[in-house]
Amino acid sequence: MIARLAFCALFLASLLHAADPKTRVALAGDSTVTDKAGWGAAFAKLLKPEAECLNFAGGGQSSKSFRDTGNWKKVIDSKPAFILIQFGHNDMPGKGPKRETDPETTYRQNLIRYIEEARAIGAKPILVTSLARRTFDNGKIRGELKPWADAARKVATEQQVPLVDLFVRSVDLHNQLGVTTSDAFNPPGKDGKADHTHLNTHGAEVIAKIIAEELGKVAPDLAKLMK
């Protein structure tokens, strides 16, 4: 009898666990958000067991191409509770017409559409401004991604969505660290050239912790799912 009761208890527990799936957190972005070259994997490690991270970010993606290549549909189809959205690097001039956007027009339009479609499935969108490139001029970060970060900040205010201002945080961080220490974030470069855009394991961990800190300020419902 006792054994039977114990079995029933375990069975009920398994049913309750199956009925309570993990909260899904989706990432939408470019290579600086991916697991291999960005902060994605490090961020996933900061989530508690009751949450899971689905990373749909891809190398070379912009706010335009991410939709055109079908990646945004994958995000929506995954039915996440939260979607972190970060673009900008490949929206810049020189990336070609299939990717380039204008900060004041097409970029903001793309972000607004992402927000609206995320909300339509019951997900909570969170904008993340572009990770700054670790390129210095006279000892200070050049900050060429500022127009896209500014546009994302304006959209977040207008649409009343949480904003992780990663651009400002990463600019401040590297201005404080300086050129030499900032190079410790660089992954192995190609053809002997330093990679000041992407992140190695150390850099990813530092940036992921910054994102977690900012989420604690702007998205407490997601922050409670983080360690």
**pLDDT score for 95:** 97
Domain layout of the chain by residue ranges? 22-223
Given a contact cutoff of 8 angstroms between Cβ atoms, the answer to whether 133 and 142 are in contact is yes
**pLDDT score for 2:** 53
Given a contact cutoff of 8 angstroms between Cβ atoms, the answer to whether 99 and 151 are in contact is no
pTM: 0.91
What is the C-alpha separation between 144 and 107, in angstroms, rounded?
Answer: 15
**pLDDT score for 4:** 54
CB atoms within 10 A of CB 68: 12
| DSSP symbol at 226 | B
22-223 sits in which CATH class?
A: alpha beta
**pLDDT score for 44:** 98
**pLDDT score for 94:** 97
What is the C-alpha separation between 166 and 148, in angstroms, rounded?
Answer: 12
**Which among 87, 46, 56 has a CA at the least distance from the CA of 212?**
46
Residues of the chain under the 50 pLDDT cut:
3, 5-18
